[in-house]
Amino acid sequence: MRIVHIITRSTLGGAQSVVINLANQQSTDNEVFVISGSDGNAWEALHPNVCIIKIKQLKRAISLLDFIVIFKLLYYRFHLKPDIIHLHSSKIGILGRLCFPKRKIVYTVHGFDTIRIANKSFLWLEKLLKKRAAQIVAVSRYDFENLKKEHIQKNICYIYNGIEDNTLQTEGISAPIAQKIQNLKKQYDKLILCIARTEPPKRLDLFLDIAEQLPNFAFIWIGNTSDIQCKHSSNTYFLGSVINASLYIRYSDLFILPSNFEGLPISIIEALSYSKPVIASNVGGIKELLSTGAGFTVQNSSQAFKETILQLTTNPQLYSQLSTQARCTFLADFTVKKMADTYKQLYQKIYKRNNGRCANF
């Protein structure tokens, strides 16, 4: 089977991690292609069997260059003749549904609130194109229900994101970065970690406010692509865009994620896999990740984060309980195998419907 994943950006992020995990799993028995913009290095983690195609005109912002993108997508439609076209992200979800046959399209919505609330002006396009896919996939029950509320109801389901269990992996850890984090761990009472881009919907401002109120804790942010220009306290550290960022979760005590909108954050799933309690904004599907008692969701205020951090770090029994539950939650619901198997069943159903026979996965 020939599978084509298409996503707007190739910078490190949650949706890109889903593409990497799916493509790597699928590449053992299928021809797999990943088409994206050329703005990042996320695809360094792809298996050599996966063919990477970069469209330099494909950017996040709406542009006249999108007409070139459309022509290139049409070219790959007829040149590659894919069996499954899997679209990721809202922009390519629109362009891809215009260019490829709907009966072959799987469109994963990586956080519907970014359209429903943050970019309402594009909601009409989602509604207009709602029938231009064999399946629309939400990444949480929260998004699934909100899609239905917006009358996007046909051929929709939800599939939780999943990741590889890399907790025993040490290959890929940068010695200088690891040493820096371990030195900070010795200097401070606790080490609080966040892995995210420093752009909306992530709340860098809130992260800085929380750090300022807890000067005895080190606050580390991994994922900034440039130097942070705004003023921040001396206990705040930015390590930049780091390959295999999740490998450094092992050195942290807590994982936090302040954000305005989320789908089902990969970074939180990674923290759960390392048995790290999580404190995150009560948005999107985060509550579903933490509903088993693996962490807390809080309102977007520095006081709420501060109080919950102190509650966890001053109660060893509670901390141990959440740590154990974090790992159990990951193993039960958020492994890459569970995600890949569910998508495999979906692909097979679509392929069989289109070809009258079962695919060889």
Tell me the pLDDT tens digit for each residue of 34-53.
Answer: 999 998 888 999 999 999 99
Confidence of residue 358 (pLDDT cuts 50, 70, 90): low
Domain shared by 325 and 339, yes or no: no
Rounded distance between C-alpha atoms, residue 307 and residue 65, angstroms: 48
Rounded distance between C-alpha atoms, residue 107 and residue 324, angstroms: 34
Question: Is the pLDDT confidence value at 143 over 80?
Answer: yes
The per-residue pLDDT for range 322-349, each reduced to its tens digit, is 999 999 999 999 999 999 999 999 999 9
Confidence of residue 231 (pLDDT cuts 50, 70, 90): confident
Domain shared by 135 and 156, yes or no: yes
Tokens for 80, please give them. Answer: 């590659």
- Rounded (10°) CA dihedral 138, 139, 141, 145: -30
Domains: count for the chain: 2
Please give the mean pLDDT across all residues of the chain: 95
Tell me whether residue 12 is in a domain: yes
33 forms beta bridges with 4, 51
Tell me whether residue 360 is in a domain: no
Tokens for 297, please give them. Answer: 């969701």
Domain shared by 296 and 245, yes or no: yes
Tokens for 287, please give them. Answer: 């509550």
**pLDDT on residue 55:** 98
Domain shared by 89 and 48, yes or no: yes
Contact criterion met (CB below 8 Å) for 196 and 240: no
Structural domain boundaries, residue 266: 175-333
Domain shared by 138 and 253, yes or no: no
Q: Which CATH number is 62's domain given? A: 3.40.50.2000
Domain shared by 136 and 6, yes or no: yes
Domain shared by 23 and 127, yes or no: yes
Domain shared by 340 and 291, yes or no: no
CA neighbor of 297 nearest in space, from 249, 246, 253, 259: 259
For the entire predicted model, the pTM comes to: 0.93
Question: Is the pLDDT confidence value at 361 over 50?
Answer: no
Tell me whether residue 167 is in a domain: no
Contact partners, residue 155, CB within 8 Å, separation at least 6: 133, 134, 135, 136
- Taking residues 124-143, what's their average pLDDT? 97
Domain shared by 216 and 347, yes or no: no
Domain shared by 219 and 258, yes or no: yes
Tell me whether residue 168 is in a domain: no
Domain shared by 125 and 231, yes or no: no
Tell me whether residue 95 is in a domain: yes
Domain shared by 327 and 342, yes or no: no
Tell me whether residue 170 is in a domain: no
Tell me whether residue 169 is in a domain: no
Tell me whether residue 275 is in a domain: yes
